[in-house]
Structure 1
Amino acid sequence: MGSGGQKLRLLAFHGFRTSGTILAQQMEISRLSKNLEDLVDIVYLDAPNVASGPIPADVPSDIFRGPYYEWWNAEQDPTTKEILRYKGWDETLAFVKDYIGLHGPFDGFWAFSQGTILASLLLAMKQQGLILQHPCAPRFALCFGGVIAAPVMQHFYHATKIQAHSLHCIGDKDFVKKWSHKLMDTFDNPLLITHPRGHVVPALEGESLEKLRSFLMARQQESAL
């Protein structure tokens, strides 16, 4: 059943070394595209950096075809394995800011895996007055298979929690589950949905789907004020 409100326009950030097209496929496979089509219009963006290494093992190339992109590549200290920098971050930040300025407005972010780091950092930086200060800038995030930024980037989260609305969909068998909860903890009053699967965009039904739809309908009501 439709909400009766104007559709939310969302900017979607794909996972590591995939693409906007692949995230759209993942949404189709999960039927979330169909189940939310009355509530949202989603724009699937490709990262500005071509994949700099092999495609993740859980991205079957016979189903999810390239080209493949990354928001950045996390470069590690070879001895300690500590992440030293996000190579490609500057290009991504400039690209996304320009895209929102040229193609906005967007109500919020829809993000998966590496894309959730980007969405959370953008909202944190917005809260600090560093970027996206225009009235129609994205104001909330939906994070699937979320990951918190590496310590080298966590200064952007600052001392206070992110005051934006957020929904976090976390898999019981997801190998990033611990980091998904850490990401959720950077937000003030986040909403949690769990599912029994791993690092995927899951099919949601019943109470979980209604929880997601209710979150989006609440954001619609805010837009109408």
Structure 2
Amino acid sequence: MGSEGQIVRKPRFLGLHGFRTSGAILKKQIETKWPKSVLEKIDIVYPDAPFPAQGKSDVEGIFDPPYYEWFQFNKEFTTYTNFDECLAYIEDIMIKQGPFDGLLGFSQGAILSGGLPGLQAKGVALTKVPKIKYLIIIGGAKFKSESVAADAYSSPIQCPSLHFLGETDFLKPYGLELLKVCVDPVVIHHPKGHTIPRFGDEKGLESMMNFLDKIQKELPEKQEREIDYKEDALEA
């Protein structure tokens, strides 16, 4: 492997967009709001969710269609439809476009991101891809489906996680609940609502940069495993 192991690469994250938006919308939100100093330290892949929006999007008139959703749910958010299909779809993306170092999610994508490490640890999702190592959660919450939550949070979420919490976000109380099942989470507070925030102060930006720097320092140890993973995928 020699010099190849010394190549500095950015951490790669799979970016999961919000309900009835799209990968292109999440990309635009992040790239117009986060400073170049952050964007230069991370690679994010922005797929669309598997299902076309089955109703009106909250971003209609702000961002152009098409809009997508990861899975559907009842009014109380306790029963999910097409959830297994969603998990298989995400795994397929990770196989074809991976490996990924972590997940970044907003809203419905953040709920998924926060729950996937636990589902993977239980062996009920993402069984064919490397372990999720890092999380960036923006406007997240816990799964409310009892059957899904039982697997997702059966043990604490061990991987390092960074959480954006908006003071006026309707999901903030549920985002705080998610923090309780994470081991040593990093939290960035912002004054806005349910949105991709700008970095309003130096403290938040410093927390983000430190989180990405920590990942960067750990990446070289992954080079060998990454090559093994690609060889396994080719043989499969």
Structure 2 segments unaligned to the other structure (5+ residues):
1-6, 222-236
Does structure 1 residue 66 correspond to structure 2 residue 49? no
Residue 26 of structure 2 corresponds to which residue in structure 1? 23
The superposition leaves residues 74-100 of structure 1 with CA deviations (integer Å, 9 ceiling, x where unpaired) of: 124xxxxx4442112122111011110
Q: Which residue of 1 aligns with 2:219?
A: 223
Give the 5 Å matches for 1:196-211.
196-204=191-199, 205-211=201-207
Partner of 1:101: 95
Deviation at 1:135, TM superposition (A): 7.1
Secondary structure of 2:79's match?
strand
- 1:91 is matched with which residue: 85, 107, 127? 85
Q: 1:110 to 1:158 in 2, by over 3 A?
A: closer
For residues 130 and 72 of structure 1, do their structure 2 counterparts lie closer, same or farther at Cα, with a shift above 3 Å needed?
Answer: closer
Aligned to 1:146: 140
SS in 2 for 1:168: strand
SS at match of 1:45: coil
Give the aligned partner of residue 119 of structure 1.
113
- Pick aligned residue for 1:35 from 37, 44, 48: 37
CA positional deviation for 1:164? 1.2
Contact 1:127 1:162 in 2 (8 A): no
Q: Is the 8 A contact 1:195 1:202 kept in 2?
A: yes
SS in 2 for 1:194: strand
* TM-score, with length taken from structure 1: 0.88
Separation of aligned partners in 1, 2:85 and 2:129 = 24
CA distance 1:5–1:206, shift in 2 (3 Å): farther
Q: CA deviation at 1:131?
A: 3.6
CA distance in 2, matches of 1:197, 1:158: 28
The letter for the 2-side match of 1:168 is H
Q: Which TM-score applies when normalising by structure 2?
A: 0.84
The 1:114/1:29 distance shift into structure 2, 3 A limit, reads: same
Say which SS state the counterpart of residue 46 (structure 2) adopts.
Answer: strand
Query: One-letter code of the match for 2:85?
Result: E
Q: Distance in 2 between matches of 1:92 and 1:133?
A: 14
**Higher helix proportion, which one?**
2
Tell me how far 1:20 sits from its aligned partner.
0.5
Contact persistence 2:50–2:68 (CA under 8 A)? yes
Residue 31 of structure 2: SS of its match in structure 1?
helix
Task: Flag the 1:133–1:88 CA change in 2: closer, same or farther, 3 A.
Answer: closer
Aligned pairs (5 A) from 1:153-192: 153-192=148-187
Secondary structure at the aligned position of 1:216 is classed as helix
CA distance in 2, matches of 1:87, 1:136: 26
Residue-by-residue CA offset, 1:161-216 (whole Å, 9 max, x unaligned): 11111110101111111011111222111111101111111111412111111101
Return the alpha-carbon distance in structure 2 between the equivalents of residues 220 and 160 of structure 1: 26
Alpha carbons of 1:98 and 1:206: their partners in 2 closer, same or farther (altered >3 Å)? same
C-alpha distance 134-165 of structure 1, shift in aligned 2 (>3 A): farther
CA RMSD of aligned residues (A): 1.8
Match in the other structure for 2:47 = 45
Mapped partners of 1:156, 1:200: distance in 2: 28
Question: Which letter does structure 1 place at the counterpart of 2:83?
Answer: W
Aligned match of 2:228: none
Contact 2:142 2:178 in 1 (8 A): yes
Task: State the percentage of identical aligned residues.
Answer: 37
